[in-house]
Chains A and B, each alone.
Chain A
Amino acid sequence: MIGLAHYLVLSALLFAIGLIGIMTRRNVLMILLCIEIMFNAANLAFVAFAKAWGNLDGQVVVFFIITVAAAEVTVGLAIAILLARQLKTLNVDEVSFLKW
């Protein structure tokens, strides 16, 4: 029987994968993907809790998070295109003009 604990463990794993990905990956597109994984970890937790509590609040929040995440990626991709056009790179380590 798959219960709340299983969902939460999976969600925590997804969150950790996203977090580690953001810290280790250097390509902007991969970083944006990892951010999506983190958001979806939270979505999974919301849905699992909504099922456990038997109310719909959590599921409603998930719809909002999905929409906001889509907007986030749109802005992120626009900036990635700027990077590719102006600086000819998608590697975040190569983009560092701002240093003390």
Chain B
Amino acid sequence: MTIPLPWLSVELFACAWILVLLAADLLLPEARKASLWLWTLAGLGICAILLAGQAIAGGHHLIQQMFLVDPFSRFFKALFLGTAAVVVVMTRPFGRHLAGRLGAFYLLLFTAVLGMLVLASVHDLLMLFLGLELLTFSLYIMAAYLRTEARSIEAGMKYLILGSLSSGFLVYGMALLYGFAGSTHFEAIRHAFEVGPVPPIAVAGLLLVMAGLGFKIAAVPFHLWVPDVYEGAPTPVVALLSVGSKTAGVVALTRLLFGAAPTMAGLWTNVLAGLSAATMLYGNLGAIPQTNIKRLLGYSSIGHAGYLLMGLSAGSQSGVEAVSFYLVAYFVSNLAVFLAVTWAGEQLGSDELEQYNGLSKRSPFLAAALFIGFLSLAGVPPLAGFVGKLFVMLRAVESGRLWLVAIGAVNVAISLYYYLMVIKRMYLDAPPTSTTFRLDRLATVTLSLLLLGVLWLGIVQEPLVRQILVSVRP
């Protein structure tokens, strides 16, 4: 068997670059290790170029049909590479906390990226398991990376225990699905579901695998780790968790449900609709009393998982298209907010909301960035988040779940309330001190680009929608 190099080039290069980063970390003198972030960015850039080189229509099955390279996977691989690049920018102000272990941090970031790249292409339960664990293990270590801080260790431990528990559900579900279909391949499982009869263990297997992926997305009832891990883990890692890991979970879930169990749609659309309602309500109501910005963003990210599930619960191609748009809108808005929070956290010395009082007088740009980012996350027109929510709700209307749309609309109002409370702190309350601060050039440019994306997607949707249509349609 020959290895089809062109279709695996991105993943193979990512593997090679992990070794390069390892060697660079070992061989470079300590004084020059600060430049490792450039190595990481360069690696991501080359991955992006290789990815662009694969831009040919149609799907390609690789490695015994386990790995599927198609426009859908390429679309999300590009999103993952972008997420990782912004996270690298975030590690710049954060770097002094990682001093001495910076090399390993970037290496773990790259293994997490490799895990996400694999997840975008899964077409087999084994591949799904390996991609998921590659991503999750990197995140366990990164969450506990501030090893002298009790809160970071606690975050790592909680993430590890609950993550392993959900992996346990996932593998057991995989075993049951294998027992039902006689193969771990998605096509074989789909065939078995089509032919029927479908015994209870197959249904149980499917639900268990969905539970394992629900953990990654942070959907109720697998959300318990989210607030604690978001508060305790280093902020750049939280950004990766919140955008990269969640997107990867949604993509893998889409692959699984549409690739392996389309005939079971009657079951899983109802399950997802129920989870969606619970997730939105829990996340947005839980965010109201929070006093720590990272914890607040943790609850808000649970709320967003609810909207993503609402789109998937439509059970149609157009639902997946809406979710894809939502994920891109979430990518620009949430990364802008997290980039601002990383800088604010460094300058203010804390992530407590009290420190954000009067931020508009201390750093007008940062406050404006948080203002736009929060309004987009809440879903205020004409920003990206509004269009994302609109698309997702339209699909839910099409599938006839008006009650779910009503809950979604109520949650927009709830989320607007707690986001506006933070904005009120920044613009109306008196600052604790009058010292001002500025962002460095790299952060300013990145943040401006993300904010431009938020505005642009809010006003002009057509280019992205066209791209999504090309990517999602088989």
Cα A64 to Cα B141 with chains together (Å): 21
Q: Is the CB of B153 within 8 A of A79?
A: yes
Interface residues on A, range: 35 or more
Q: Is A10 an interface residue (CB 8 A)?
A: no
Q: Does A9 make an interface contact (CB < 8 A)?
A: no
- Would you call B175 and A95 a contact (CB within 8 A)? no
Contact with B along A75-99 (1 / 0, CB 8 A): 1101110110011000010011110
Is B165 engaged at the interface, CB distance under 8 Å to the other chain? yes
B127-152 vs A, Cβ < 8 Å mask (1 yes, 0 no): 00110010001001100100110110
Q: Flag whether B157 is at the interface (Cβ < 8 A).
A: yes
Contacts of B144 in A (CB 8 A): 79, 82
A31 & B161 in contact (Cβ 8 Å cutoff): yes
B154 close to A96 (CB less than 8 A): yes
> Are A52 and B129 within 8 A (Cβ)?
no
Cβ A61 vs Cβ B157 within 8 A: no
The chain A residue sitting closest to B155, CB to CB, is A98
**A38-B129 in contact given A76-B160, A79-B140, A96-B154 (Cβ < 8 Å):** no
Residue of chain B at shortest CB distance from A72: B164
Q: Contact: B148 with A86, CB < 8 Å?
A: yes
Docked-complex contact A71 and B157, CB < 8 angstroms: no
Interface residues on chain B, number (Cβ under 8 Å): 42
CB contacts (< 8 Å) of A65 on chain B: these are: 129, 171
Asked if B4 is at the interface of the complex by the 8 Å CB criterion, the answer is no
Residues of B within 8 A of A100 (CB): 227, 289-290, 295
B324 to A: closest C-beta gap in Å = 29
| Interchain CB contact (< 8 A) of B231 among A35, A49, A98 | A98
In the bound assembly, the distance between CA atoms of A41 and B172 in angstroms comes to: 7
Choose among B154, B156, B178 the residue that contacts A61 (Cβ–Cβ < 8 A): B178
Contacts A55-B182, A100-B295 given; does A45 touch B175 at CB 8 Å: yes
Between-chain CB contacts (< 8 Å), 15 pairs: A19-B168, A31-B161, A35-B168, A39-B167, A42-B168, A42-B175, A45-B179, A49-B175, A50-B178, A61-B125, A61-B129, A86-B150, A86-B153, A98-B232, A100-B290
